Amino acid sequence: MRLNLRYDPQYDFYQLIGVEMSADTETIQRAYRQKAKEIHPDRNPDRMEWATEQFQRLTEAYSILSDTELRSQYNDLRWAYYSRTGLSKPLSSAGVRPRSTYTPPRHYTTRPGYKPVKRRGVWLEERGMGWLRPFYVAAMELMTGPYRYVMPIVGLILLCNGALIFGGFFSPSSDSPLDEKLATENGPTSTLMAGLGGFISTPTPAPSVTPIVMPGNCTQYALIEFPSDGAKLTADTMQLIGTVDHPDLYTYRVEVELLGDNPRNEAKLIISMNRQPQILPESPIYHNQLASLSPLLRYPAGYYRIILTIDHQNGSPLAACAVTLYKE
């Protein structure tokens, strides 16, 4: 990575670390570690802002002087500054790069018989389309360079991706959020890929048994949409909003587990969120309020796991969804 080096006499890197200009890498490293221990912000709590600034400058100085190439460039800038201004040396111990060791930049000449490459895309500027010239030049360099055999393959891949993306905008969408679920329950179906004209189809097998979801995961049958997992439990997050829907839905329940100060703890207390009396079997609920979490305001701070469970008429659970909240 190319750095924009410059020399600032107020923050001379050799002075910041406290070494001479002729010091080797090991000497610079030892001096840097000793200096870092003295000005580290943790050891200067009474002047934290000063220590942070000095530590950043010290780290920058060490990153330059520990690199051979960057140190050489910095020495050139340092010597050029004092040669141009005629000022005295910053420190007699650190010194300034001797004039005898300064190597001026090389000047390269064009070899005999060299013919410059013809400028590409000039005709675009002549026709008032200069903004297209950078793209034209880049394309020509790729097509005539070592990657000219790879570009047709890349173009074909991009063309296929574009067809898939373009076809996705015109794929038919279901009118009801339950269409996809009902289709999978009635039997295996095929999902046509509109981007390829419907010639490729992938079978979608129908689930045989609805698995019980472990806390932290949700399905299309039981879903907690608000508050989200890991959210903070406040007065603004007292409404539990989500979706409850299952072919064998009889009722659903919302329970809260008190976990304490660690979300991985076992439940210390299980709180049942009371709801308004419902007509059984209950009707599905989509993106609406499931229960109120306001009773949790009187409980202590810590982590709470909200569990939404769909029950069968015989009392067995059908699906579940859980999120973990934190209360201060």
Q: Return the percentage of the chain with pLDDT > 70, whole number.
A: 73
pLDDT in the model for residue 113: 54
- SS3 labels along 195-230: HHCCCCEEEECCCCCCCCCCCCCCCCCEEEEECCCC
Distance CA 328, CA 322 (A): 20
Judged against a pLDDT cut of 70, whether residue 169 lies above it is answered with: no
Give residue 46's pLDDT band: very low, low, confident or very high (50, 70, 90): very high
Is 176 inside a domain boundary? no
Judged against a pLDDT cut of 90, whether residue 19 lies above it is answered with: yes
Phi and psi angles of residue 291, each rounded to the nearest 5 degrees, phi first: -165, 170
pLDDT in the model for residue 83: 81
pLDDT in the model for residue 36: 92
Q: Are 65 and 17 in contact (CB under 8 A)?
A: yes
Distance CA 6, CA 18 (A): 19
Q: Are 40 and 111 in contact (CB under 8 A)?
A: no
Is 144 inside a domain boundary? no
- 3-state class (DSSP) for residue 153: helix
pTM of the predicted model as reported, rounded to 2 decimal places: 0.36
pLDDT in the model for residue 112: 54
Is 184 inside a domain boundary? no
pLDDT in the model for residue 37: 92
Which of 25-34, 85-94, 182-191, 319-328 is predicted with the least confidence, judged by mean pLDDT?
A: 182-191
Longest CA pairwise span in the chain (Å): 97
Domain span at residue 314 reads: 222-327
What is the average per-residue pLDDT within 117-137?
A: 81
Give the up-direction half-sphere exposure of residue 100: CA atoms within 13 A in the CB hemisphere.
0
Structurally, the chain folds into a number of domains equal to: 2
Last residue of a domain, one of 44, 71, 101: 101
Last residue of a domain, one of 75, 101, 127: 101
Is 145 inside a domain boundary? no
What is the average per-residue pLDDT within 95-99?
A: 42
Distance CA 268, CA 302 (A): 11
- Residue 23 is encoded by which pair of tokens? 């010091």
Last residue of a domain, one of 83, 101, 119: 101
Q: What is the CATH number of the domain that holds 288?
A: 2.60.40
Mean pLDDT score of the chain:
77
Phi and psi angles of residue 254, each rounded to the nearest 5 degrees, phi first: -120, 120
Give residue 31's pLDDT band: very low, low, confident or very high (50, 70, 90): very high
Is 212 inside a domain boundary? no
Give residue 274's pLDDT band: very low, low, confident or very high (50, 70, 90): confident
Distance CA 314, CA 100 (A): 96
pLDDT in the model for residue 166: 78
Of the candidates 84, 105, 77, the one whose C-alpha atom is nearest the C-alpha of residue 6 is 77
Is 78 inside a domain boundary? yes
Phi and psi angles of residue 116, each rounded to the nearest 5 degrees, phi first: -65, 150
> Considering just the CA atoms, what is the radius of gyration of the chain in Å?
35
Judged against a pLDDT cut of 90, whether residue 157 lies above it is answered with: yes
Is 189 inside a domain boundary? no
Q: What is the CATH number of the domain that holds 51?
A: 1.10.287.110
Sheet holding 285-292, edge to edge: 222-226, 239-244, 285-292
Is 302 inside a domain boundary? yes
